[in-house]
Structure 1
Amino acid sequence: MNDHDDREVDETNPLEDATATPEQDAAMPEQDSMSPEQESTDPDQESTDSEPVEGEGIRLQKVLATAGVASRRHAEAMIEGGRVEVNGELVLEQGRRVHPERDTIRVDGMRIPPPRRHVYLVVNKPRGVVSTMVDPEGRPTLGDIQFDKPSWQQLRLFHVGRLDTDTEGLIILTNDGEFAHRMAHPKYKVPKAYLAEVEGLLDNRILRRLEKGLRLDDGPVKPDKVKLVMRSESRSLVEITLHEGRNRIVRRMMDSVAHPVRKLSRTAIGPVRLGQLPIGEARELTRDELGTLLDAVDM
């Protein structure tokens, strides 16, 4: 399927040219992982702690320890201190059993995601790479990126939304089809930040125009945030945060104020920051990043 180069932000159907469908996703190879019972090597674990009968769930403090939040004893102190919630209910007693796959667990308000059955990768897409996994025209694609972990290379991954070919920066790859679909759906309005190098000096009048919003050919657009990073007579750097997805929207915004984009990079999606990740490399989402995104898309 032909790639649409004129894409800069997420579309509503991130799977249209992926190599697998969400239904196939159920049969995909999973990331090597152990069950919470196998994975826990916490020295505070009581030797008499028997495995729960099926249906009873797992002790809350054990789930927190397995997730890397704290040691077993520190997790118990967190519970006693009123810092842990399950499904919106404050838990104060020890021994509460939960089902981490379906219960929503929070510590200090931060979502603790369930044990991972899927892989969620942050990729710094190079300029000139097409936002598809395969390309019939033979152009470089996301599927050509060589990951440090060979196990990632074997997965059948979806790209979450798109970046146009000339735009570099943050894109998420995953084998979780439902997550990919929800992240790209406009209903959830996940904000995305872009750093644009533009021609000329961006004066305060232009910045105010951007902040108030513009009317483009396909309707009005109002950024969530506009931040001037630097400016000179010949060029300026501006960070623009948006939560909507329209073709080449940042480039069209800057064209409309007579400051064409020279270079564009996506630097953030929700809580996920590109940071110092080198171009062409990948890392996994952190626990806090994934938990926040799952909340944002009601998963």
Structure 2
Amino acid sequence: MSDETEGVRLQKVLAAAGVASRRASEIMIDEGRVEVNGKIVTEQGRRVNPDRDQIRVDGSRIPPPRRHMYLVLNKPRGVISTMDDPEGRTTLADYLPRTKERLFHVGRLDTETEGLIILTNDGEFAHRLAHPSYEVRKSYHVQVAGVMDNRTLKRLEKGVTLDDGPVKPDKVKLISRGQDRTLLQVSLHEGRNRIVRRMMDAVGHPVDRLARTAIGPVRLGNLPVGETRELSRDELGALLDMIRM
């Protein structure tokens, strides 16, 4: 619980987070649209601890002031998911802004897989986001060899058994079929090594190309290959809720 005699005025915290001007934030408070630690706040001048208190506007989490870096990278194909490589191969570090901070990559993408990867210097955030107990969904565009028939699609939707146990995706959607290829969207909570590739091998359609397009509420969107951006306020707030930080 925040100490209401200390801390920062709530409308100042909202303005600093980019939610609205102080005056507009005061109106939001008057309208009952702001919560602190699960309780609606309607009185003006309420003081909060922005690092500890959970603040929401219209139900959306407002993350605390940033003490850490939270980046999204559109990893190119052929790049190793490490920060340095003794053999001199291209790594994630080659695509990041110069910083003295030590960044962790959240989860891995194998060398031939491209797409969304999150990097941060917040170790607890990275640990939780990668941990399977929080069940953060990941989505992929998957191009496989051969024309996948509807029966095989149904088999994938129901789940397949691999050598280390069964896997059932949350969603399998057919995007297109060509003469010798099929493009799918696959979403799942699984984090096992090369899980999407092994699923497709199990149904007889090896992956030709694989790209991760989303992690929870974070989507790759139009971010060019090899470029980075910061997590938005809404993305970070939603992730903090998902991993219960």
Instruction: Please report the TM-score for the alignment, with normalisation by the length of structure 2.
Output: 0.96
Matched, 1:283 2:234: no
Match 1:170 to one of 103, 106, 116: 116
Which residue in the other structure is 1:202 paired with?
148
SS at match of 1:233: coil
Task: Please give the residue correspondences for 1:103-252 in structure 2 after superposition, counting only pairs within 5 Å.
Answer: 103-147=53-97, 152-252=98-198
> What amino acid sits opposite 2:231 in the alignment?
L
Cα deviation, residue 204, structure 1: 1.6
Which residue in the other structure is 2:242 paired with?
296
Higher relative contact order structure (alpha carbons within 8 Å, sequence separation ≥ 6): 1
Instruction: Show CA shifts across 1:230-262 (max 9, x none).
Output: 112311110111112111110111111111100
Cα deviation, residue 298, structure 1: 1.0
The 8 Å contact of residues 139 and 187 in structure 2, kept in 1 or not, is answered as yes
Task: Please give the residue correspondences for 1:92-107 in structure 2 after superposition, counting only pairs within 5 Å.
Answer: 92-107=42-57
Question: Structure 1 vs Structure 2: percent identity of aligned residues?
Answer: 72
Which residue in the other structure is 1:14 paired with?
none
Cα distance in 2 for partners of 1:247, 1:62 equals 45
Cα distance in 2 for partners of 1:205, 1:96 equals 59
Cα distance in 1 for partners of 2:237, 2:39 equals 18
Instruction: Show CA shifts across 1:1-35 (max 9, x none).
Output: xxxxxxxxxxxxxxxxxxxxxxxxxxxxxxxxxxx
Which residue in the other structure is 1:17 paired with?
none
Cα distance in 2 for partners of 1:87, 1:266 equals 34
Cα distance in 2 for partners of 1:65, 1:182 equals 29
Q: Unpaired runs of 5+ in structure 2?
A: none
The 8 Å contact of residues 5 and 47 in structure 2, kept in 1 or not, is answered as no
Cα distance in 2 for partners of 1:70, 1:281 equals 29
SS at match of 2:224: coil
Cα distance in 2 for partners of 1:232, 1:143 equals 36
The 8 Å contact of residues 4 and 48 in structure 2, kept in 1 or not, is answered as no
